[in-house]
Structure 1
Amino acid sequence: MTNDANIRLECLKPAERWTQPTGEEVREVLRLAGFSGSKAAKALGLGAKGDRTIRRWIGEDTPIPYATWAILCDLAGLGVIWKED
């Protein structure tokens, strides 16, 4: 797993050692994945108001769930973070 992006390494760990990403880190992972908010919402199966959910994660109004974060990291090319190296 490489991390050339501005994402703290503790945000790229298995769930039991994971640190919640900041809104800027969520935004960066979306950028690396090539997702707009609506495209990410569709890819993650978040439903009709999913883009609002994405905005709440970026705005740090709601924490992003680990499983969702892990999928986004994989789609962004940051690796399979739920497995130990």
Structure 2
Amino acid sequence: MIRDETLCSFSDWVRPTSEEVVEAMDELNYTLQEWADLIGVKLATISRWRTGKVKIPYAEWATICYLTGLGDIWEREDSIKKIQNKATKAKKYFISYSQKMKKREEDIFSDGFV
């Protein structure tokens, strides 16, 4: 079973085991050579990932996840960044608006309208 923590953005990513790499790749009936061609690596590299002799890099794992339907794990990171950017903009707007309202209130009180 592929662990959820292997299917997340790079900052939170836990590298999959060789068993998880095999399980993901076996989702599709591709030969190892077809996988190598799809990902753009040598056949020996695919074999090393599957046996655990070499740890799979994030970009290649993300590509396998996308191709096998396990998810677009890059998109998850992009979504988080978009949410953070929107929150930052909203916070800046709120602070700016609050400062303007405070200034307006001070102006009203200093002019003796109240």
- 1:59 equivalent to 2:27? Answer no
TM-score norm. by structure 1 comes to: 0.83
Q: SS where residue 82 of structure 1 aligns? A: helix
CA distance, structure 1, for counterparts of residue 49 and residue 36 of structure 2? 12
Identity of aligned residues (%): 39
SS of residue in 1 equivalent to 2:55: coil
Runs of at least 5 residues in structure 2 that lack an aligned partner in the other structure = 80-114
Separation in structure 2 between the aligned mates of residue 33 and residue 69 of structure 1, nearest angstrom: 15
Which whole-Å CA distance do the structure 1 matches of 2:6 and 2:43 have between them? 22
The whole-number CA distance in structure 2 between the counterparts of 1:34 and 1:11 is: 22
Pick the structure with greater CA Rg.
2
Distance 1:79 1:57 in 2: 20
Counterpart amino acid of residue 15 in structure 1: F
Query: Which position in structure 2 is the counterpart of 1:9?
Result: 4
Give the corresponding residue for 1:38: 33
Match of 2:74 in 1: 82
